[in-house]
Structure 1
Amino acid sequence: MSKQNSTAKAALKLNYKQIFLIGFGFLASSLAWSIYNSQVPLILEQRFQLSGVLIGTIMTIDNFFGVIFQPLVGAASDKTRTRIGRRMPWIIVGIPVCALFFSLAPLQQTLWAFMGAIIIFNLVMSLWRSPVISLMPDVTARPLRSKANGVINMMGGIGSILAFLVGGILSDIRDDKFFAFFFASVLMMIALFILLKFVREPDSLSFREEHNISIKNTISNRWAYQAREALADDPHAKDEEEAQAAEGKKRSFAAFLTLPGAEKRSLLFLLLAVFSWFMGFNAIEAFFTLFATNTYGISGGSATMM
């Protein structure tokens, strides 16, 4: 590494406060998913008497939407340009709609109404999850993203803990489990308020400057200016696009075919291990509360807190 790059890297400093506040978006997402995965199977079995096969099928809806829509929305948000940035328009629309239908879901007494609410929730969640995750790299220089990602993952973990502890307690207050879902909806709206209040994308500043829109002296705008300067000074920024293009070529199926036989087998076994891990984890996550309530006779809330 050259002396210039070493100096530039040393000058970069992670804005932990900003990353912590951005993390509320991921916290809200993780909290909602944890409550969804623990409470929806219970409702499907106890209220609608569905079989395990049907419950498992319904619980895969979010994965289908995630695979289809999240990459498309991520690419679309990259091309979005507004006075509030590239990601925030998706987040501003998505979170309130998610919060509304998440609160309405446990109140539905017919299967079709309940399915309609959770399908809309899953669809809209897939429209704002990618943008909210993209906020961190949008304001963080490349050498600092590993540290920033650690903060974001910590916030996601806190969201899951809140879902299992607080959500578990709230789910036993009423038979329809409304308060657990409402708790997640309230946290989603609080997260949206925090993002609107304290997070400004550097792209938003550029758009406002180009269109002669006033920029107030707020902490979010000051942090956005600092982030833009850090990204501009990042010695890795110019090479990032080329690196991503090269990485894309490495990930192509054609590149896989050119690998030596030993490397192909190694990669296939690695992919099989990852596939098996996720399959097992999702099976446990979706059916654990049902297993605990049916096997040990405990309440849904107690099963959630386990």
Structure 2
Amino acid sequence: MRKTWLLGFGFFSISITWALYNAFVPFFLDNYLSSTLLIGFMMTIDNYFALFLQPWVGNRSDKTNTRFGKRLPYLMIGMPLAALFVALVPFHVSLVTLVAFMVLMNLSMSVYRSPTVALMPDITIDSKRSQANGIINFMGGIGALLAFFVGSKLYDADHSLPFLSAAVITIISLGILMFVIKEKRDTVAYIPAEQREKLSFRSELNRSTVFLLGAIFFWFLSYQGVEALFTLYGEKHLGLTEGQSAFSLGFFSLALVLAAIPSGLLGRRFGKKRIIMIGVSGLVVIFAAITFIDALLPLRLLMLAGGIFWAMININSYPFIIGLGKEQSIGRRTGIYYVFSSLAAIASPPLMGGLIDLFGYSILFYVASGSMLIALAFLFGVRDKGLARDTTATGHSTTA
């Protein structure tokens, strides 16, 4: 697991960059745009790249064969470019240059995000992937927390410092990965591109995969809507201050970080599907209960519990969908995973925002709970024979 912790630096750099980007770029856009709708649209650029580019890159990386391996070449191209453009973002001189740097940064990150994620299952046997995913998500969560707590201080000192710091961290992380990970040595079963079985896209969409992708879409639809609109819900529906609302949302994020590694261990011990179903069922109840809460302490306790249940889902879902396919299609399936999570991220805020316009803020957690319930229904269609429990320390479980 030592290499997994070090691989976590890749996720650390991605998370810290996205957190800083999401926290501070809206302030830059606000200097040029008066429409919050337009600002919100500009902040979804990454999801459109994820929708179209990441599946293609993930699929291409499955077929790549260089002396560095099949994933690392994409990191070697994308990470330096991303570091350059994230460093340039605060030095924009107009809306045109700001948007150009934003687009180029998002484009660069789309080049290496899927291959970085795919490296984890590449170097980890199937029975330890939930545990490994917990570790790398823990690293990513630490990066996001640092971005908020340290990045805010740096931003107050100079608007460029958080972005320059993210650029330096990205380059250092690439150096660590290049030094530690040797794909042809560390991959569980490295197969040269010319020797890999040719798999059609249709062959990847077996029954269990289709049902799991449906579940992924609906639980991300629920999560993304809550994440995007919770602070407004707290302010306008519960009468909290902006600071109280943001701090309350932080309980959810903190619980996610703390529960990341335990959730991976639970997935390994009791089975990914079982732990995911517990997490989804828990959030159905938590989100429904929040609709009846109007006091700060119970709200924060429920958000804390919600973060734990979300960790059970988020940590185990990616290893689960990888385990339903073949080893040589990890990159492609990573891309497919991001397509459905990105579709939810694109659809959820405007959908829930429109419902709030019609019915008021009280509708937010009713919809979030209902969306989780639909996800739970999809999970019943997933057959996880061979994936129910990771009982061995070596070897691969069979595919569904």
What TM-score, normalized to structure 1? Answer: 0.68
Q: Is the 8 A contact 2:33 2:39 kept in 1?
A: no
Structure 1 gap ranges (5+): 1-15, 203-223, 233-240, 257-266
Match of 2:109 among 112, 116, 125: 125
- 2:123 & 2:33 partners in 1: Cα distance? 48
Matches within 5 A, 1:106-125: 106-125=90-109
* Pair member with larger Rg: 1
TM-aligned CA distance change 1:245 to 1:17, over 3 Å: farther
Secondary structure of the structure 1 residue equivalent to 2:205: helix
- Where has structure 1 moved over 4 Å in runs of 4 or more? 244-247, 267-273, 295-298
Match of 2:20 among 23, 35, 41: 35
Q: Is the 8 A contact 2:90 2:163 kept in 1?
A: yes
Offset at residue 142 of structure 1 (A): 1.0
Q: Is the 8 A contact 2:79 2:112 kept in 1?
A: yes
Matches within 5 A, 1:180-191: 180-191=162-173
Q: Identity across aligned pairs (percent)?
A: 37
Which amino acid in 2 is paired with 1:20?
Answer: W
Which amino acid in 1 is paired with 2:10?
Answer: G
TM-aligned CA distance change 1:269 to 1:32, over 3 Å: closer
Structure 2 gap ranges (5+): 191-197, 252-400
Deviations, residues 123-147 of structure 1 (Å, cap 9, x unaligned): 1111110011111111111111111
Equivalent pairs counted in the alignment come to: 234
TM-aligned CA distance change 1:138 to 1:245, over 3 Å: farther
Matched, 1:26 2:8: no
Q: Is the 8 A contact 2:61 2:115 kept in 1?
A: yes
What TM-score, normalized to structure 2? Answer: 0.53
Q: Is the 8 A contact 1:141 1:231 kept in 2?
A: no
Which amino acid in 2 is paired with 1:159?
Answer: G
TM-aligned CA distance change 1:121 to 1:284, over 3 Å: farther
- 1:89 & 1:284 partners in 2: Cα distance? 39
Offset at residue 269 of structure 1 (A): 8.8
- 1:231 & 1:79 partners in 2: Cα distance? 15
TM-aligned CA distance change 1:271 to 1:134, over 3 Å: closer
Offset at residue 273 of structure 1 (A): 5.0
Offset at residue 250 of structure 1 (A): 1.0
- 1:167 & 1:121 partners in 2: Cα distance? 19
Let me know the Cα RMSD of the aligned residues: 3.3
- 1:69 & 1:185 partners in 2: Cα distance? 22
Q: Is the 8 A contact 1:106 1:181 kept in 2?
A: yes
Which amino acid in 2 is paired with 1:193?
Answer: G
Which amino acid in 2 is paired with 1:248?
Answer: L
